[in-house]
A and B are shown apart, each in its own frame.
Chain A
Amino acid sequence: MQHLYLHIPFCHRRCSYCDFNTYANLEDRIEAYVAALCAELALLPVPPAPPAERAADGVLTSATLRPTIFFGGGTPSMLTLPQLERILQAADRLVPVQQAEVSLEANPGTLLGADTPALDYLRGLLSLGIRRLSLGVQTLHDPLLRVLGRTHTAAEAKQTYLLARQAGFENISLDFMFGLPGQTFADWQAVVDALIAWQPDHLSAYSLILEERTPLFAQVTSGRISVPDDDLAGAMYEHAIEQLALAGYQHYEISNWAQASTQPKLAPRVPAYACQHNLAYWLNSDYLAAGAGAHGHIYPYRYYDILNVDAYIHAVQQGQRPIAETIDLSHADLCAETMFMGLRLHAGVSRTHFAQRCGVELDATYGDTLAQLAAQGLLAHDAHAVYLTARGRNLGNRVFEHFV
């Protein structure tokens, strides 16, 4: 399976809610890091080519997907065009760049303030083959953006989006969060209205998760600021579902929407603009990963790379694969992960896909559990797949825990 995640762990500033493997003020390491990343890519095994045949019944399986490369962060848009070019050249051995969906996470604040004019930079990305842009907008309320520690304003986010369109991007995703500190329902309504007006091709809306060891967690637990309760966050989520459906967006995963465009769907309930790289995660496919703290999955194991940037660079310089830990997976793990990842998709888990991925039949493996969840109104079946009901999507964890 030709999927590759590349982690760029640098940020100008860490967001107050962020617990990813990211570092501020390490700009002086970027050049060495890019070299190390290219060297690591040279050490990775070449993944098998994708299966030639799509499933006969047309349902979503690994064979549906194109090869993908995903620059995640951190802030990948802190890299220069030549740096990105070098990385893609090294990656091409593993995943053919020209055929791949290549995504890059970009921070509106970084693009505008950089040495290269934003429009030139964005055009440069396209010429490198990076045709999918994921903009971390998060919200459109400036005081809230400051609480989150974001470096941009709402106006700058919009300006960046328009520049990306002007540069020629035809696949732009916007990342939003709801359930933010002090956010009211009306605030969120205004955000949803605005983002619909922008007409992005793809949208992600995540409920804020307070992670321990983040400044925001400390502020909330100490009572200095408060976040909406589950009921309000639930109402925000439902509002987004309703309004985005009315605006022609197809909800295809718990937190993801894409334009229901005129282009043919990838598969039933999977719109054309769905993020193919993330689909690989949800299909529990194998994927390679490179970069400090990046997580890869080659059944029967998962691995992640050394978190610390200097230690990562050092390990690669020694000619070693910079793996921090390898986690062995049992067949039961494979089945469980295929279920709790796959059920996040509106397309659900198809019997064809489950059998292909796990080598056993879905109903033979989970028949009782599925029947029990269906009886509770959380799960539904059709001829091809099992999938969450609307209620099941709201209570996803209650469903997923049955499989672990």
Chain B
Amino acid sequence: MQDQSFVRNFSIIAHIDHGKTTLSDRLLETTGTITSRERREQLLDAMDLEREKGITIKAKAVRMHYTSADGQDYILNLIDCPGHVDFTYEVSRALAACEGALLVVDAAQGIEAQTLANVYLALENDLTIIPVINKIDLPGANPEQVAQEVEDVLGLDKNDVILASAKEGIGIDAILQAIVERVPAPTGTLNVEARALIFDAHYDSYKGVIAYVRVVDGFFRTNDRVQFIGTTAYADILELGVFRPGMTALRELAAGEVGYIATGLKSVDECQVGDTITLAANPSFAPLPGYRPAKPMVFAGLFPIDSNAYGDLREALEKLKMNDAALSFVPESSSALGFGFRCGFLGLLHMEIVRERLEREYKLDLLITAPSVEYQVLKTNGDLIEVDNPSEMPDVGIIAAIEEPIVQINIIAPKRYIGPIMELVTSKRGSFEHMEYLDTQRVLLKYRMPLAEMVIDFYDQLKSRTQGYASLDYALAGYQESDLVKLDILVNGQAVDALSAIVHRDMAYGQGRELVDRLRKLIPRQMFEVPIQAAVGSRIIARETIRAMRKDVLAKCYGGDVSRKRKLLEKQKEGKKRMKMVGSVEIPQEAFTAILTLGEGKQEVRKA
């Protein structure tokens, strides 16, 4: 059995692009866990999507062996955690599995909103933080100033800062030594009821759900029957072990250790992040703190372009769900789009990841409606209902009040952008709460704003108005009553339910006008004239007309090259498959998310 005093469990906190992946790889190489030859590009980010988006979605845990300066052997468990606001809960559970964290800050960029949020999470979990200033080799690096910022903003001693360049291999030994010296050893109790924290899980078609665990007390052995305290599921341990970095089976995992437990379960629903595993034969009745069932915040309709693919879509969602407890879906029927699913996501990024995986891995052509949030609607008869789909909003006559989710947002940006940020947040119904200078150049701004405004391209606009300098973090901060109305869109005189949106009454007119203008540009000309109207209740507030198509013919001979002509026709036909017939009008996918890109002014819209 491993002596806990020679185990160190730690995580790495970093903003996107501050070098977490490179540093992880370097630690694995230096400890001989992988050789450079074996090292795949960005080993810890296995999924293509993660690599493309430059972020880590699924946490992983790797065991390293390290011999410290005094000749003592240690086991270092690196628990990787996601780096995006949508996954804050997952981050908090990964951090809860550790005693320490490396805080990686870019030597040129300094602290970002995401870093700040994750440092607070780490401090809440009583983690020892080792500040690392990375990329000191780059021109523009200013380690002294960043170290000062670390001290001023985070309250960490600047003398504790380690200067590093993961890319150049500078500071790696100092980091490993600091992990051993500064991160406390685990202090679990061996001879009590066993408890392990699940900080991630994935579905494996051979071994069922693999739980990534930190054993807190006692120990687990192969073939033990275990219970999940939160979900009340039971399972038998088919296998357990550690990642080195591949799965390596062991006989047991004891208090203080980090590894995996293969459960044979069919869905991660039964094995949720944050839940506690205990032994069925000798259970603990004290769940580890912090568990909450995955709760989606953002909702959107997913519809197959080809209505025959409904069954395929359901199957694909079921498969994804086995690996993603935060994804929810229920069948939805739209008069415009036919049968599909109302899906719940943690946030916009999560939504985008799910959509891309469905399209890429399951080869589905999908149409996704504009994201919505969950409203609490008090009806005049006293019933309180939850509405996450604008088309299901009750008739205005029977609504007593609508409450919408509110988020608290933190933005860090250079001070010269305070004006544009204020303007943007105000236009999104945000209210200012607090401003604080981080140093002479950068400020931290705190606001409250409706989540519904946040999910509509707020982040993109923030980035564009601050030339990419602002960083953003948000957290749910309750519900608030608002004067909201349902904005309906009529295409060719027919209300298209999937284009409806819930908007603030004061903004309905402007948004309606802008939306019909946007749709006029997005919907290609049809063989007849198509009116586009926006309405609140029975009142039409905006109208545009798409003129009938006048000419669409290949007026060129191509010198007998009929194959080419044929290819052009096939391409044209293919393009139409990406559109949805609503009544007799072909509407391209982009139209259903047009509301996301309102307020971008006169930017050119590409026609399908």
* Chain A residues in the interface with B (C-beta under 8 A): 5, 7, 20, 72, 204-207, 209, 230-231, 233-235, 237, 254-255, 278, 281, 284, 287, 289, 294-297, 302, 304, 327, 333, 336-337, 340-341, 376, 393-398, 400-401, 404
Q: Which residue of A278, A393, A395 is within 8 Å of B557 (Cβ)?
A: A278
User: Mostly helix, strand, loop or mixed at chain A's interface?
Assistant: mixed
A173–B69 Cα distance when bound, in Å, is: 91
- CB-defined contacts of A255 to chain B, threshold 8 Å: 555-557
A229–B355 Cα distance when bound, in Å, is: 35
Do A394 and B569 contact each other (CB < 8 Å), given the known contacts A72-B559, A341-B562?
Answer: no
Q: Which residue of B551, B561, B570 is within 8 Å of A234 (Cβ)?
A: B551
In the complex, besides A207-B555, A302-B562, A404-B569, 8 extra interface pairs with C-beta distance below 8 angstroms are A5-B559, A231-B550, A233-B551, A234-B550, A235-B550, A255-B555, A297-B562, A398-B552
B572 touches A397 (CB 8 A): yes
Taking CB as reference atom, which chain B residue is nearest A205?
B555
Q: Which residue of A233, A237, A393, A400 is within 8 Å of B569 (Cβ)?
A: A400
Q: Is B565 an interface residue (CB 8 A)?
A: yes
A278–B563 Cα distance when bound, in Å, is: 16
A302 touches B572 (CB 8 A): no
A246–B547 Cα distance when bound, in Å, is: 29
Q: Which residue of A337, A393, A395 is within 8 Å of B562 (Cβ)?
A: A337
Cβ of A125 to closest chain B Cβ, rounded Å: 20
- CB-defined contacts of A340 to chain B, threshold 8 Å: 565-566, 569
Q: Which residue of A230, A281, A302 is within 8 Å of B551 (Cβ)?
A: A230
A336–B562 Cα distance when bound, in Å, is: 11
Q: How many residues of B contact A (CB 8 A)?
A: 23
A235–B551 Cα distance when bound, in Å, is: 9
Q: Is B286 an interface residue (CB 8 A)?
A: no
Q: Which residue of B556, B557, B572 is within 8 Å of A401 (Cβ)?
A: B572
- Interface positions, chain B 111-129, Cβ under 8 Å from A, are none
A295 touches B560 (CB 8 A): yes
A400–B566 Cα distance when bound, in Å, is: 9
A401–B569 Cα distance when bound, in Å, is: 5
B552 touches A397 (CB 8 A): yes
A395 touches B527 (CB 8 A): yes
Q: Can you list 12 A-B pairs, Cβ within 8 angstroms, ordered by A? A: A204-B557, A205-B555, A206-B556, A230-B552, A254-B553, A255-B557, A295-B559, A295-B562, A395-B551, A398-B527, A401-B572, A404-B570
Cβ of A31 to closest chain B Cβ, rounded Å: 24
A103–B560 Cα distance when bound, in Å, is: 14
Cβ of A11 to closest chain B Cβ, rounded Å: 14
Q: Is B416 an interface residue (CB 8 A)?
A: no
- CB-defined contacts of B527 to chain A, threshold 8 Å: 376, 395, 398
A295–B555 Cα distance when bound, in Å, is: 19
Q: Which residue of A207, A231, A281 is within 8 Å of B556 (Cβ)?
A: A207
- CB-defined contacts of B363 to chain A, threshold 8 Å: none
- CB-defined contacts of A341 to chain B, threshold 8 Å: 562, 565
Q: Is B554 an interface residue (CB 8 A)?
A: yes
A61–B559 Cα distance when bound, in Å, is: 20
A142–B239 Cα distance when bound, in Å, is: 82
Cβ of B608 to closest chain A Cβ, rounded Å: 14
| Residue of A327, A333, A396, A404 with most chain B CB atoms under a 10 A cut-off | A404
- CB-defined contacts of A231 to chain B, threshold 8 Å: 547, 550-551
A302 touches B559 (CB 8 A): no
- CB-defined contacts of B551 to chain A, threshold 8 Å: 207, 230-231, 233-234, 237, 394-395
Question: Chain B 361-384 against A: per-residue CB contact (8 Å), 1 yes, 0 no?
Answer: 000000000000000000000000
Q: Is B606 an interface residue (CB 8 A)?
A: no
A395 touches B566 (CB 8 A): no
B560 touches A287 (CB 8 A): yes
Q: Is B40 an interface residue (CB 8 A)?
A: no
Cβ of B520 to closest chain A Cβ, rounded Å: 15
Q: Is B182 an interface residue (CB 8 A)?
A: no
